[in-house]
Structure 1
């Protein structure tokens, strides 16, 4: 544990989507099923909502005094923990960073607005990519602060109950009119209400029902069979000496094996199944020694061996290997200086040949099987990454939970399905669409995963231009000012508390951006709800690569406002110009190179390009080869 760096690194949040390269769901839904919001689910949700709306009671809301007392206890627990550290300077550095005194003082005051402000500020310091923020004393304090904010929000029980009941009634009407494929606005409304209900400790049945219906995987990673075959398939061309003894005859010679090893995926749920097969021909040239008699033989054999590998997060397990062999041998000559001996030897050899061939076939089968087991068992030593151990601390720092994952395979791909959501979040009711092109690897991301991953960190946070530039730089596209260019004052923006990130994948386009409540630059400030978005559409390069091209202008909208003042309208243009630099004109045009550290020789250093982009029903699909 150590406080090595106190600055947050929000760029890591952008990589949250890649966690899911490693994510899945507890229940498998076939991509062919095209599940949507069914009439029975719609009726069940409406019935549950109307019932729970009538059961809202004031005594179920979080108690403000208890919440304040709990936060005070957690603050003291953190202080004691930090002061008890072996390194007193490190413990004090943590206390300096956390700056808990303003919140502790606010807990003793009568100003709820000041308490809410300091609680929010402290919570922001408890979420970020700082090593150590995953410590249990800090995560408990963060949870306690979140409960305090909920208690402040619902402190007027009578008024809160009335408003919540009305919101549930409106939600029931919305669900009744909702399309089978809910719009992005419908999904956002559901997500916001689930979060509100979870905070209020009311309508538990509604929360459970919505999370069940909107509980399908929202991330999927695929590896195509072609990529697996590229890593596994190989030719077999080798020779080995023969040293054997069959029915008293010592055999010496050489065996030449030619063939190939192939991999094929098998349909499976719970683990990916790869069947590895050896199919080879063996030619032998040998001499048998039985006393003074030499028997020269030629043989031709066909051998096969198969073994199934089962792969999931626990590692690689293997089924028993199965080997077969068939053999034809011919005695080309029998050598001895006496003709009668040769005649006797030929007769005896003819009598023993069927039995000798059976013995030879069985030994060949066993030998092939043992060698195949030894070679495939090396795969059992491969350690699949312990995903929870690797990403768990980072997820905890960012107030996220370890996603449920499911490994599996079909006839043509290995997949990992994932559901990324907290208890106060939903995923989707629409199953992922089928991928209709061939690929080496692919990823599918549903709209909910972006808000679920980034919302807890960005909601209500103020981000300045320098931070945005850092994000772009770590993403590989720094904003560069031309020498001599007139620079304007830097800007900052306050993210909205609900759905701070806009991500919509509909009708062949991707709409991406942010929702804010304040934009400031220098002395100018605009305090209104705003959406700053860019729309991207798939396009093909002359080389056949797929990229995303941005529509010409960045959109700046102010929902609910019909007219802006002259100064506000001027600032709108400034926002549009500044974010024209933030949103690149094209995306996904870069090569993807497999790192040199990858252990598989066949794909180490390989370069891939996007060749397929699809956007529909809330799902973005990207395939590479």
Structure 2
């Protein structure tokens, strides 16, 4: 029983799936409740009567655009929310007299009516954004001071927890760039581009994958700093001017990107929606609108399903061991050996908010023993059958197990009884011994069975506790803690189990990110393992893995070096497949070559190559590429392809430096037996960061010329095998206890990647 009887590794696999329905078209506009503009019209009539027909009344009506407002009130549900909110904006202004009761009454009634109109545009986010402009409230100096004070308090609490000025605190402060953070605590601290960039560096340290940063005292400080960073520019600017127009532009931009994302999503639309949404969410003026967006664009974006067959095949090995036997029963000291054979099986239990399963252990032990009692030795053989079971429950909050129960049955056969110490009176003694042994055999078997049952329960409990503890530790260290440090741990994760299998789904998105905008597609029946990933989950993870990563190469013979606080598995991949790292970094040399080609054209030097000749490949020169810290890479899943956009914030080569150029590569996702193979299709495209070719139409002349030359050079390198590889094979998944999984489904459509496997036939 001391050998490993079962394997809780299956539990870790099941839970790991957690971190790995609707349509994406416009929602129909629901019928609007009967709009009643009468209160607004009555308030306008009162203002008209109150102001009269004099010059002052005309000026006020012009200021309020009263005629346009009356026209919109007559349109009912077709009223333009932007025009309604323009009047609300004027009524919330600082013009002398707006504080008087007639204007305040108009403002209150119009605000109610504008919200009613906005409720009719549930499928039109552009109009919903316009309708929400009236909810803007200036960020007052007192509110901004409170945000700064909260950051200061959380930082001081962190210092106290680290031991004040202890060596531990000094080391942490050095790592966290405390010298850059501390000046922001002052009530008169300057807010500038430089101080904000320094805060970004501080936040990157607070959200590094450094053990310890997952502790609440660190995460609380990080959130307070992030809140201050998000609102610092707003708070500083609000002290000198009204930012209502900026907020209006922000909302209108969000509405535009939301509509684009619904109609034709790209790698850029989701990124732009998320970054604007994060600002508006932090300002807290449009909570209802933000909530509406999250309900529509933050559906679950990772799903994993495991069949009961998969779970049944997970125990790592059957028990087959020979162990010594030591016992004392009814005064007989027993010694010998036992050969034990056992098997482990899992039985899934129905549970809605966790994974619950029974672990069953069935065993058979055959023993040969000698029992010493007084002048005789008893040679016996026995057979013991036992069963034990234990219920395990797994959730993010808890890995726990109920006490084990067991039943044991022992049957023995006495082969011989011999007298020890000479043969005097041996016959009589053995005869008496046989009689007594026969009389006490049933009782001895019951006692032996009970001893075995207690040992089985004890060792079963200890082993499951150890394995559960190991699984919890791996989950905590490998999955939960890194995500908590990055402030990316999913708010919504659902685990369920049933006799048919296990399912896990999650929404993986930060506050400044969106998730899926449509439910996951159906999967083929009969699969043992299905993984469905929405492109948003990948895009939301990549900033964790690659933010500010730097790829460099000093010589042609040297492999590219990947620097930065990136996960170990990515560093290992960069070593195993250096061509992938080189592909991302090739852009630096290409940009340099493209720049020189453009310089020659500007200076009037002739290009000796023909119009159809491929660009000449420049010789190797040291280079480096630094990825965009906010969104290093974006992906789009659709039409059987993955579009990858590599965003480079800095490209350096040959003493030249270039900023914010992106490379777009398209791969078809294909199946070759049980491998997934990415095959590059079409040309590599090049655009300035933020330029969306699906929606944006114009670049500057300089950008356009630079882009054209850069794209030619990049594609020439790719075709020569020196850049993004033509094919990227992904090896099949092999699980130790199961074998190589057989790829059964591979679909890429509407933002979702669906992969399904079946298990290979079980070995005899």
Match of 2:69 in 1: none
- Give the superposition deviation at 1:554: 1.4
Distance 1:491 1:245 in 2: 76
Match of 2:490 in 1: 403
Question: Larger deviation: 466-475 or 416-425?
Answer: 466-475
Match of 2:202 in 1: 126
Within 5 Å, give how 1:164-563 maps onto structure 2: 191=274, 194-219=277-302, 232-241=316-325, 243-246=327-330, 250=332, 252=334, 254=336, 256-264=338-346, 266-267=348-349, 268=351, 270-273=353-356, 275-286=358-369, 297-312=380-395, 316-330=399-413, 354-379=442-467, 381-382=469-470, 384-385=472-473, 400-404=487-491, 417-431=505-519, 445-454=533-542, 470=562, 475-476=574-575, 477=578, 478-479=581-582, 486-487=619-620, 501-514=633-646, 532-540=663-671, 544-551=674-681, 553-556=683-686, 559=693, 560-561=696-697
Distance 2:295 2:477 in 1: 27
- Give the superposition deviation at 1:264: 2.2
- Give the superposition deviation at 1:513: 0.9
Match of 1:16 in 2: none
Distance 2:321 2:632 in 1: 59
Tell me, which stretches of 5 or more residues in structure 2 are unaligned? 1-13, 31-118, 420-424, 555-559, 564-569, 590-616, 760-764
Q: Is the 8 A contact 1:610 1:622 kept in 2?
A: no
- Give the superposition deviation at 1:185: 7.5
Match of 2:133 in 1: 56
Q: Is the 8 A contact 2:154 2:221 kept in 1?
A: yes
Distance 2:222 2:375 in 1: 86
Alignment CA distance shift 1:306-1:158 (3 Å): closer
Distance 2:229 2:445 in 1: 79
Alignment CA distance shift 1:221-1:551 (3 Å): same
- Give the superposition deviation at 1:432: 5.0
Q: Is the 8 A contact 2:647 2:662 kept in 1?
A: yes
Deviations 1:89-117 (A, max 9, x none): 98799879749999999976xxxxxx664
- Give the superposition deviation at 1:319: 1.8
Distance 1:251 1:496 in 2: 72
Q: Does 1:618 align with 2:751?
A: yes
Structure that is richer in helix per residue: 2
Distance 1:242 1:216 in 2: 60
Distance 2:132 2:356 in 1: 49
Aligned length: 572
Alignment CA distance shift 1:591-1:573 (3 Å): farther
Give the structure with higher Rg (CA): 2
TM-score when scaled to structure 1?
0.66
Question: Larger deviation: 67-76 or 213-222?
Answer: 67-76
Q: Does 1:159 align with 2:217?
A: no
TM-score when scaled to structure 2?
0.56
Tell me, which stretches of 5 or more residues in structure 1 are unaligned? 1-19, 26-30, 109-114, 595-601
- Give the superposition deviation at 1:238: 1.3
CA RMSD of aligned residues (A): 6.1
Q: Is the 8 A contact 1:444 1:621 kept in 2?
A: yes
Distance 1:85 1:52 in 2: 49
Distance 1:273 1:183 in 2: 40
Q: Is the 8 A contact 2:144 2:235 kept in 1?
A: yes
Deviations 1:380-430 (A, max 9, x none): 5536237677788876876x3433456666668777654332223332254
Distance 1:270 1:166 in 2: 40
Distance 1:92 1:125 in 2: 13
Q: State the SS of the aligned residue for 2:562.
A: helix
Looking at both structures, which has the greater relative contact order when contacts are Cα pairs under 8 Å and sequence separation is at least 6?
1
Q: State the SS of the aligned residue for 2:536.
A: helix
Deviations 1:54-81 (A, max 9, x none): 45336524347964896699799999x8
Distance 2:153 2:431 in 1: 102
Q: Is the 8 A contact 2:203 2:222 kept in 1?
A: no
